[in-house]
Amino acid sequence: MSNPWLAIALEDYEGHMGSDNVRQLEALSDLFKRALDLCSPESVAVLGVAGGNGLQRVDSAITKRIIGLDINARYLEAVRQRYGALPGLELCCADLADKHLSLAPVELVHAALFFEHTGLGRCLENALFLVAPGGKLSVVLQLPSEAEQDVTPTPYSSMQALRDCFALIDVSQFCRKLEGKGFHLFQQEQRSLPTGKAFWLGIFAHRTR
Ligand SMILES: C[S@@+](CC[C@H](N)C(=O)[O-])C[C@H]1O[C@@H](n2cnc3c(N)ncnc32)[C@H](O)[C@@H]1O
C-alpha cells in the first residue's frame, strides 16, 4: 500500500497544521528548539522533516550538520528551496519504515509527530541506529485528550486520508520500550495547545554510550 503522505501537498499539510483549530506548527517548532537548546548537538537528523518547520531555529555556530529525512521528495525540494543556504544541510528521501538507513550517525535524532504515522517497527530501529555514541533521541508525541483524537477537520480535506494510519503512542509504553533498548529518559516536558490537545517532549540518552 502506498504511503498516504505521498498524496498530500505540502501546502495542505502546512495549511492544516497552521489552521486556527489545529495550531501545531509553532508548538512543534518550539519543541525542536527546546531539544536543540537542551542537547547543543553538533549534528542533528530530523525524521519526517516535512517542509522544514523549525529549521530556522538551528544555530549554525553550534549545529554544523543537519539531515532532513522524509518519504516525500516534494517536501524535501521545498526544504531545499527554503533552507538551502543553511550550512551543512543534507536531505535524504527515504521510506524509514521500509529500508535500513546507512547514514553516518548524529548527536541528536529528532522525531516529532512521526511515530504516530509510522509505528515503532523499522522506523524506531532506524531512529536508534542514527544516534551516535553519546548522542540522544528527542521525540514529540501527541498526548490523549478530551479534544478530537482524529485528524481535526479543516478546509484541507486531503489530510483526512491520514485518519486510518495515525495512532497515538502511549508515553509510558514508549519509555519502557526505549529502556529495553538501552535508552533512558533524562528530560521530559509537556506543551499544551490552545485547541485542548497537548504534546509531550521526551529526550533519551543511551545508557552505555
Ligand atoms: C506530521 S509530519 C511531522 C511533523 C514535522 N516534524 C513538523 O514539525 O511539522 C510527518 C512527516 O513524516 C513523513 N513520513 C511519514 N511516513 C514516513 C516514512 N515511512 N518514512 C519517512 N517519512 C515519513 C511525512 O511525509 C511527513 O512529512
| Cell representation of residue 63 | 549545529
Mean pLDDT of 28-56: 98
Maximum average pLDDT range among 8-22, 82-96, 144-158: 82-96
Q: Which of 118, 163, 193, 197, when mutated, tests ligand 1's pocket best, judged by the most ligand atoms within 8 Å of its CB?
A: 118
Arithmetic mean of pLDDT, 42-47: 98
DSSP 140: E
Taking residues 27-43, what's their average pLDDT? Answer: 98
Ligand 1 center to 50 CA (angstroms): 6
What is the DSSP track for 5-26?
GGGS-HHHHHHHHHSTTT--HH
Q: Is 153 exposed, middle or buried (0-12, 13-18, 19+ CB in 10 A)?
A: middle
Provide the domain limits for residue 88: 4-206
**Which of 120, 68, 126, 119 is CA-nearest to residue 96?**
126
Q: Give the per-residue pLDDT at 209.
A: 47
DSSP state of 69: E
Q: What does the alpha-carbon distance between residue 149 and residue 163 come to, in Å, rounded to a whole number?
A: 10
Q: In this model, does residue 1 exceed pLDDT 70?
A: no
Please check whether residue 175 is in contact with residue 124, taking contact to mean a CB–CB distance below 8 angstroms. Answer: no
* Grid cell for residue 110: 529528532
Q: Which residues contact 85 (CB under 8 A, 6 or more apart)?
A: none
Nearest-atom number in ligand 1 for the CA of 140 is: 6
Q: Please tell me what DSSP assigns to residue 144.
A: P
The number of distinct structural domains making up the chain is: 1
Among 110, 114, 150, 193, the mutation site with the greatest number of ligand 1 atoms within 8 A of its Cβ is 114
Q: Note the pLDDT tens digit of each residue in 102-161.
A: 999 999 999 999 999 999 999 999 999 999 999 999 999 999 987 666 778 888 888 888
Kindly report the average pLDDT of the chain as a whole number: 94
What is the predicted pLDDT for the residue at 191? 96
CA dist 52 and 69 (Å) reads 10
Asked whether the predicted pLDDT for residue 26 surpasses 60, the reply is yes
CATH number, domain containing residue 30: 3.40.50.150
Instruction: Select from 73, 132, 140, 82 the least CA-distant residue to 110.
Output: 140
- Ligand 1 proximal residues by C-beta, below 6 Å: 3, 5, 25, 28, 48, 50, 53-54, 70-72, 75, 95-97, 112-114, 117-118
Report which protein residue has its CA nearest ligand 1's atom 13: 48
For ligand 1, atom 14, the nearest C-alpha belongs to: 48
pLDDT at position 167, please?
93
- pLDDT tens-digit profile of 179-208? 999 999 999 999 999 888 999 999 999 876
